[in-house]
Chains A and B, each alone.
Chain A
């Protein structure tokens, strides 16, 4: 079984709808991240959490919110989706080591019409 899972894997929605993307991990890591990737570009950080009570904004947090329900779960919400939020979304986890190796989920492809 995959260590980092994301649901759904694909989603098509309409402008104005509320969408939740979910991430679960079985690695026992404290740190979790949400990134967004647009075609031809690198990943941009949306939000991150270093433990259950910690939430931090990333580079592009406007229009998004997150919830860290437990160590293993980190959800990303789009309160009112808009077309320029169409992108590939990745969740990642890491442990507290200098290595800071991040483990990524398979991604969720979101299309907002």
Chain B
């Protein structure tokens, strides 16, 4: 049970921003929100994580709703290299990550 809900697929044009949504309505107070992505033929890689406040790093931004029941991963300018499956995961840190099916992002040149 991944405990998060994501769209199966999304499409974006190259160099445009992408907003990937995730619902986690049953999130507990100690759960972090993690995002990983899996490029073709590779293992998943960490993208970003947050608890309550919005977060930015060199790869992406994470916007967390005030009630923490949803979040959005923002890629500011999609490139062809960003085409991947993106996984949204809620986790308290004391248990292994549980991966759902994620969102398959296609980037159109």
- A and B associate in one complex: yes
Identify the A interface with B (CB < 8 A).
Answer: 33, 35, 40-45, 48, 58, 90, 92, 97-107
Chain A residues whose CB sits within 8 angstroms of the CB of B46 once the complex forms: 101-103
Neighbouring B residues of A97 by C-beta, 8 Å: 93
Q: Let me know if B43 and A107 touch, CB within 8 A.
A: yes
Instruction: Determine, out of B16-24, B72-80, B95-103, the stretch whose residues face the partner at the interface.
Output: B95-103
B96 lies within 8 A of A45 (CB): yes
Q: With CB as the reference atom, state the residue of chain B lying closest to A98.
A: B93
- Closest-by-CB residue of A relative to B101 is A42
Chain B nearest Cβ from A62, distance in angstroms? 17
Known: A99-B49, A100-B97. A42 touches B87 (CB 8 A): yes
A99 near B100: Cβ-Cβ < 8 Å? no
Q: Is B68 an interface residue (CB 8 A)?
A: no
B93 pairs with A99, CB closer than 8 A: yes
How many Å lie between the Cα of A42 and that of B37 in the bound state? 11
Q: Does B60 contact A (CB under 8 A)?
A: no
Kindly provide the distance from the CB of B31 to the nearest chain A CB, expressed in whole angstroms: 10
Supplied contacts A43-B99, A90-B43, A106-B42, 13 more A-B pairs, CB within 8 Å: A35-B99, A40-B101, A41-B101, A42-B100, A42-B102, A43-B44, A45-B98, A58-B96, A92-B43, A100-B93, A100-B97, A102-B46, A103-B46
